[in-house]
Structure 1
Amino acid sequence: MKKYNLFKLLFLLLFAASSCKSQNNNTSDKKIYSFKKGDDNGIGKWYLDREIAYVMGYEGINWLERPSREKEENTSKLIKNMNIQPTDIIADIGAGSGYHVFKMAPLANKGAVYAVDIQPEMLQAILYSKEYQTNKNIELIQGDEKNVNLPENTFDKVLMVDVYHEFNFPKEMIASIKKSLKKNGKIYLIEYRMEDPSIAIKKIHKMSEKQAVKEMKAAGFKLEKNIDNLPIQHCMVFTMNTES
């Protein structure tokens, strides 16, 4: 059963401002995060020595759907890296307009793909697409800045493509994702490689393997492998660290 219908989506669009919580520099945040001026494209909020980037708004949908994306990022190889099985339950966090969702859904045809985004305009784009009507195993979920709003102990795989570095509350978000994973579930963290200065992406929208491992380790995950076959991105696979 679809989690979204047109009436609900229109309601969320009308009240988008209230459904997406604003950044809150309260006392508890300051124990986890620090606040100082940094990159012009950053929000001035830092987590484990990394400044958080501004979220790309729904106005960037055309960039997400650009015809050159397959050539630039080899998204087909990324999907192969995930080794998707027909019965897999997958969550795409920060799904945007559904670019990867629509590639995964036919492969997990006996399972489900949950498209999670905090922007109802992004979910609207998925809802109105012909691929959404064709693939009956896609669920649309409205998340917020601290919670992915997914059922616990459910997911075999979680995909995050160039979105983690934009989380306003990365510690809380990863904790929420961790609850949603099965014990043997995997996180596929895809980020533009900080280690390569030739990649024409703003520095704040890149992440090094070292930084990713540092932050995921703090959340109770370990790096299983970094699949080094994408042109400009890390494909880092994390699993729960049962020894911690």
Structure 2
Amino acid sequence: MTDRKTTLLALALLALASACGGPSTAGDRAAAEAGLYTEQAPSRDGIGRVYMGREISHVMGHRGAGWLERPAREQQERTDLLIARLPLEADDIVADIGAGTGYFSIPIAERVPRGTVLAVDIQAEMLAIIEERQQNGAPANIETVLGSVIDPNLPRNGVDLILLVDAYHEFSHPYEMGTAMVDALRPGGKLVLIEYRAEAPGVPIKPLHKMSERQAIDEMRAIGLRHVRTEDFLPQQHFMVFEKTVDGR
């Protein structure tokens, strides 16, 4: 059985267990989840953990903060267009997961003056950068949130839009993080996934730091999100919009 088919079977078993009240013990849950991931010898840029046929990449640490803020980024990636095209209302609650230095959190906060941006990261050093920027004039409607590798620590049914920019492919536990994100979205809430296009070999990014549209749709479907549209107005990345259906499925 292929890795993807094995994962889909494990996901189906987890869904069935949840519908029946869930596994009775932590051991049962661990056994049920064991089929979600397979392990292999790590490649140069990966951690050796495979999910739905994709090896998960290493995380870029806080020492790479300068790369996130590089002067050429806006022109190379047209981040200005990305921010402008986000489906936002002025009072939205937005979660920027993998917020890093606040590169997106800060301009998004300006677009939701009556709302809040929850800047989520698993590295306290990154959140400290955002908090320092707030002390120097960045918007006050940003709240930093320390997440974990399995949970972004967001309020249940409390978020209108989740933004993931070049971060999802680094999640060591994409299924657990994914289901936690879906729980945080309000019915009808959107998840915008930005990833470098794996279909474009000319994009100068390491292969494990790219995702194909098909792979992304399959992984988002596995956690219950509906694919709304993919826009390719960005020069290097997919702009993919997913939705939590009204019935929460």
TM-score, structure 2 length as denominator? 0.84
C-alpha spacing 1:238/1:128, structure 2 compared with 1 (3 Å) = same
Please point out which of 171, 176, 183 is paired with 1:179.
183
Q: Secondary structure at the match of 1:106?
A: helix
CA distance in 1, matches of 2:52, 2:172: 13
Q: Which runs of 5+ in 1 are unaligned?
A: 1-25
**SS at the partner of 1:174?**
helix
Question: Quick one: distance in 1 between partners of 2:136 and 2:36?
Answer: 39
Is 2:50 the partner of 1:39? no
Amino acid in the other structure paired with 1:185: G
Residue 27 of structure 1 deviates from its aligned partner by: 4.9
C-alpha distance 132-78 of structure 1, shift in aligned 2 (>3 A): farther
Answer whether contact 1:33 1:47 (CA < 8 A) is retained: yes
2:16 corresponds to = none
2:73 paired with 1:80: no
Cα pair distance change 1:131/1:68, threshold 3 Å: farther
The aligned residue for residue 229 of structure 1 is: 233
Alpha-carbon shift at residue 130 of structure 1 (Å):
4.4
1:84 positional shift? 2.0
Aligned to 2:130: 126
Q: Contact 1:97–1:125 at 8 Å: present in 2 too?
A: yes
CA distance in 2, matches of 1:55, 1:134: 26
Structure 2 CA distance for aligned equivalents of residues 107 and 233 of structure 1: 22
Q: Which residue of 2 aligns with 1:160?
A: 164
Task: Give secondary structure in 2 for the equivalent of 1:192.
Answer: strand
Task: Give the AA of the match of 1:109.
Answer: P
Q: How far apart are the structure 2 equivalents of 1:79 and 1:231?
A: 14
Q: Displacement, 1:228?
A: 1.4
Tell me, in whole angstroms, the C-alpha distance in 1 between the residues paired with 2:204 and 2:92: 34
**Which residue in 2 is equivalent to 1:208?**
212
Counterpart of 1:129 in 2: which secondary structure? helix
1:18 maps to none
Cα drift, residue 31 of structure 1: 1.8
Q: Secondary structure of the residue that 1:103 maps to in structure 2? A: helix
Of the candidates 104, 120, 145, which is equivalent to residue 116 of structure 1? 120
Partners of 1:81 and 1:227 within 8 A in 2: no
CA distance in 1, matches of 2:43, 2:202: 19
Q: Name the CA distance, whole Å, in 1 between partners of 2:96 and 2:138.
A: 18
**CA deviation after TM superposition for structure 1 residue 85, in Å:** 1.6
**Cα distance in 1 between the residues matched to 2:208 and 2:196:** 10
Q: Is the 8 A contact 1:120 1:142 kept in 2?
A: yes
Distance in 2, matches of 1:179 and 1:159, equals 15
Equivalenced residue count is: 219
* Partner SS for 2:110: coil
Report the Cα distance in structure 2 between the residues aligned to 1:135 and 1:45, rounded to whole angstroms: 38
Determine the structure 2 residue equivalent to 1:139. Answer: 143
Preserved CA contact (<8 Å) 2:134 2:140: no
| Structure-2 separation of matches of 1:129 and 1:137 | 12
1:240 counterpart residue number: 244
Q: Which residue of the partner structure matches residue 188 of structure 1? A: 192
CA drift at 1:240: 2.2
Structure 1 residue 63: deviation in Å?
Answer: 0.1
Q: Is contact 2:96-2:163 (8 Å) kept?
A: yes
The answer to whether residue 99 in structure 2 is matched with residue 98 in structure 1 is no
Structure 1 distance, partners of 2:216, 2:136, is 32
Q: Give CA deviations for 1:5-54 in whole Å, capped at 9, x if unaligned.
A: xxxxxxxxxxxxxxxxxxxxx75553210001242100000000000000
Query: Cα RMSD between the aligned structures?
Result: 1.6
Q: Which amino acid aligns with 2:150?
A: K
The 1:151–1:243 alpha-carbon spacing in structure 2 relative to 1, beyond 3 Å, is closer
Identity of counterpart residues, as a percentage?
43
Q: Tell whether 2:64 aligns with 1:60.
A: yes
